[in-house]
Structure 1
Amino acid sequence: MKISGVDIRPGNIIEFEGGLWRAVKIQHTQPGKGGAYMQVEMKNLMDGRKTNNRFRSSETVEKVRLDTKDFQYLYAEDDMLTFMDTETFEQVTLPADLLGDAAAFLQDGMQVMLELYEEKPISVQLPEQVEADIVEADAVVKGQTASSSYKPAVLDNGVRIMVPPHITAGTRVVVDVYNQEYVRRAD
């Protein structure tokens, strides 16, 4: 489906220069003279390259619609991850770098969504938030105000995040997978 260059939104998958790209960030700019344009930061879904490009309102791009399918994460071997189709029980193995930093949050049996283009898996979507245990947390510095101070902590998967002062080692917390930020204490 063709869309105008200024209608691109974050998360859109577009066909550009012979490849598939995901719009990561956009910035609409209207200079004093000349036409408005959309500055788009994009990431290539096949090889992970990033690029910035300007799209004017007169330009059109092909918006790609991906098929999505539910899969279950099974295991990791070297730098490959194995997932199972929850309907057909068919297994698919993908490189870990397809997930980027989010790969650290994969848990055995986790439900994920694979995005497919012409039946080929090109990206994996994890749940937005996951629960994890704090294994190490720095001591609170006396005199810091509780409202704005955060301290470093290490999760059971090795990821370092910032947490409020009242969080200690052994606490179970909810973490935003893609921003790698503390959300709240787990129930």
Structure 2
Amino acid sequence: MIAAIDLKAGMTFEQGNKLIKVLEANHHKPGKGNTVMRMKLKDVRSGAVTDTTMRPDEKVKKAHIDTKDVQYLYSQDDIAFFMDLETFEQYEIPTSIIEDELKYMLENMEIKIQFYGTEVIGVTLPGTVVLKVVETQPSIKGATVTGSGKPATMETGLVVNVPDFIKQDEYLEVNTQEGTYVKRASK
């Protein structure tokens, strides 16, 4: 059992027959009343996202999640295909479960797949990935890093706000947790 105050983004717990993933968890002290934990939670199986509050001392049962190293192969007909790097066994995950993560994944990329018992429940991405800019506004002469930035569409369809000096066809390092530009990268 784990107290609600100890829940962090990315953790998974059981609630009845549901498997719940914490997307956001914030400690909140209103002007009057008791301290609460404001959380954004996602039902792993249905994909439903809810905002809720819990008392900090409220207990939940932490789910035991295992991971395996896999290679992302491709997506077809609303299914993403992965291959175990040791046994070469293939796994299929509905794209609806991992649609946010797919924006950071390229074919043949190595990631971790998450299991709850024998059930495949999602993927774990590396902290950053290198993606190519396929569309952005032309760079502005004299632009600096401190500019407000501009949107850039990456090869996976992800749109990231980048500095004004970034050009089309450049490779960028992108933070997978926040979806933000980190730096230029070499391919």
Q: Per the shorter chain, which TM-score range?
A: 0.7 to 0.9
Gaps of 5+ in 1: none
Contact 2:106 2:156 in 1 (8 A): no
- Decide whether aligned partners of structure 1 residues 58 and 170 sit closer, same or farther in structure 2, where only a CA change above 3 A counts: closer
Between 5-14 and 40-49, the greater mean CA deviation after superposition: 5-14
TM-score by length of 2: 0.88
Determine helix, strand or coil for the equivalent of 2:166.
coil
Give the equivalent residue in structure 2 for 1:170. 169
Contact 2:143 2:164 in 1 (8 A): no
Gaps of 5+ in 2: none
| 1:75-119, Cα deviation, whole Å (9 max, x unpaired) | 221211111111111111111122122213221211111110011
Superposition pairs of residues 143-154 of structure 1, within 5 angstroms: 146-154=145-153
| 1:156-187, Cα deviation, whole Å (9 max, x unpaired) | 22322221121111211112234322211103
Contact 1:140 1:151 in 2 (8 A): no
Give the equivalent residue in structure 1 for 2:62. 63
Contact 1:11 1:23 in 2 (8 A): yes
State the Cα distance separating 1:12 from its structure 2 match: 1.7
**4+ residue stretches of structure 1 with deviation over 3 A?**
30-35, 140-146
Give the % identical residues: 34
Higher Cα Rg, which structure:
1
Give the equivalent residue in structure 1 for 2:106. 107
Residue-pair matches, total = 186
Read off the aligned partner of 1:105 and give its amino acid letter. Answer: Y
Between 67-76 and 156-165, the greater mean CA deviation after superposition: 156-165
Tell me, in whole angstroms, the C-alpha distance in 2 between the residues paired with 1:62 and 1:158. Answer: 37
- Decide whether aligned partners of structure 1 residues 27 and 159 sit closer, same or farther in structure 2, where only a CA change above 3 A counts: closer
Superposition pairs of residues 89-128 of structure 1, within 5 angstroms: 89-128=88-127
- RMSD (CA atoms): 2.1
Between 61-70 and 174-183, the greater mean CA deviation after superposition: 174-183
Give the equivalent residue in structure 1 for 2:27. 28
Give the equivalent residue in structure 2 for 1:13. 12
